[in-house]
Each structure stands twice: as structure tokens, then as C-alpha cells.
Structure 1
Amino acid sequence: MNFIQRLGYYLIGLMIGAFAVWFILHQKETETFCYLPNCRVLKDLRSKPFQTSEEANFEMKNEKMSLDDVRLNLKHGDIDFSRSNLPYETGKIYIVEGRNPENQPIELELINYPDKVVLKNIKKI
């Protein structure tokens, strides 16, 4: 058996194995792996019950944002770790940089309590 035939058998086996792994992982309905700090914090913020403050409700009405837009920023936003993870009452403050529906940069100020997440403020950058 020459090299080309062995390479062909190897690639066919590799494709069958990759398809089997892909099929099994999609059947489990798992979320993507979150090993990086930004992904882990955003996943933690998304997993808890979500509340908004009066100031955040006012800003959401002015910016014409909905809670779906805020949740989208909690999925694709970036945590500013230099200004985050600060103690606040019994929780910690996190700053999430994202975009509003008009694609303008905004900042979400969130308080991460052990049992809930509160949106404290929304600011344009």
C-alpha cells in the first residue's frame, strides 16, 4: 500500500471520527466551553435572576433599549477588569462594555450578588 492510499484511509477515518464527535456534542445541548475569565464572568452574570434599578430603567427608555439588548451584551460584551470586581454591599460591581441597538458603544454597570444580578446603570461611552 503506497503513501497516497494510506493518507486517503487516514483522512476518511478522521472525517468519520470528527463527524461522530460533532454529532454527540450537539445532541447534549451543551453551552460552549468557558475557560477564559471574560467568558466565565459573563456566564455567571447570565445564569442568575436579573433585576434593574430605577436609574437603569430610565436610561433604557432614553436609549430605546430592551432587556433583550442588555442580555445580548451579557453574551457578547467585554468585561473591563481594571474597573470591575470591586466590593459593593454584599456583592461585586462589574463593568461590561457593549453596544446599543444603534451600534454605539455603551457601558453596563452590574452588581453581582450571590443570588441575583442587578443592572445599576447604563452609560454611553
Structure 2
Amino acid sequence: MKFSVRLAYYLGGLLLGTVFVVYFLQAKADARDVSFCYFPNCRVLQDLRSKSLEIAPKADSIFQKKWVNLDDVKKTMDYGDVDFSISNKPFEGGKIYFIEGKNTKGESITVTMVNYEKKVVLTDIKKD
């Protein structure tokens, strides 16, 4: 078989494979509920956001001080960094996570959450 025929078969197969890959990835990207979240930090934050949030009395008393609000906590759950060196440890039937973020004033905060099977409990918020 001549080189030009082999090259034509190769390029034809490559083109056909590329069309299939683009078609399937485009269909997956068009779905509204699909997100590409493969890194550990992203996966933990996505799991925490997907569950109902309960606020412990200690965290509620911190909200009364007005230096942080629930929007700051939600932004931290979207854009924060999970400290894996002290997180992901068993705690009261769930796993505890420490998430570092910022409040609206630009101050660094650490949000402590306990992740249970069906809910997430906000236990503490600290200024760094």
C-alpha cells in the first residue's frame, strides 16, 4: 500500500474521530447541570454547596457581630481554598473542613464546616 493511501486513511480516521469527540463534548458542555470539577478543592466545595446548610449557634452569634455575613460564607464556599492538612477528618459523625476565604472587607477568614451525608453544618468562622 502506497504512503499516500495510508496517509489518506489516517487523515480520514483522524477527521472522523475529531468530529465525534467535538460532537460529544459539545453536547456535554451544553447541558446546564454539568460542571467540570476534577481537582480535590473544587470537588469538596461542590459537595458542600450541593447540600442544605445549617448554622450552629456559635456561628450564628458570630453573624450578630456584623463583621461577616452569610454572603461571605457562600462566596468562600464558591472561591475558597480547603486546607487539606487539617481537614477531611472524622468529626461527630461527619467530616470537618476548614475553608480559607475573604469577607467583603477583604479580611481573611476561615470557615469551619462539618459535612454530613445529607447536610452541612457551619460551626465556626474566624478572622485570620
**Both proteins in one fold, TM over 0.5:** yes
What TM-score results when the alignment is normalised by the length of structure 2?
0.75
User: 2:116 is matched with which residue?
Assistant: 113
Q: Which residue, 59, 62, 70 being the options, matches 1:59?
A: 62
**Aligned-residue CA RMSD in angstroms?**
2.1
Q: Looking at CA atoms only, which structure, 1 or 2, has the larger radius of gyration?
A: 2
* Equivalent runs, 1:1-125 vs 2, <5 Å: 24=27, 27-125=30-128
The amino acid of 2:47's aligned partner reads D
Percent identity between the aligned chains?
42
* Number of equivalenced pairs: 108
Structure 2 residue matching 1:62: 3-state secondary structure: coil
**Alpha-carbon distance in 1 for matches of 2:54, 2:38:** 26
Q: Which residue of 1 aligns with 2:14?
A: none
Once the two structures are TM-superposed, the CA of residue 23 in structure 1 deviates from its matched residue by 7.1
Query: What TM-score do you get using the length of structure 1 for normalisation?
Result: 0.76
Structure 1: unaligned runs, 5 residues or longer: 1-16
Q: Which amino acid aligns with 1:93?
A: I
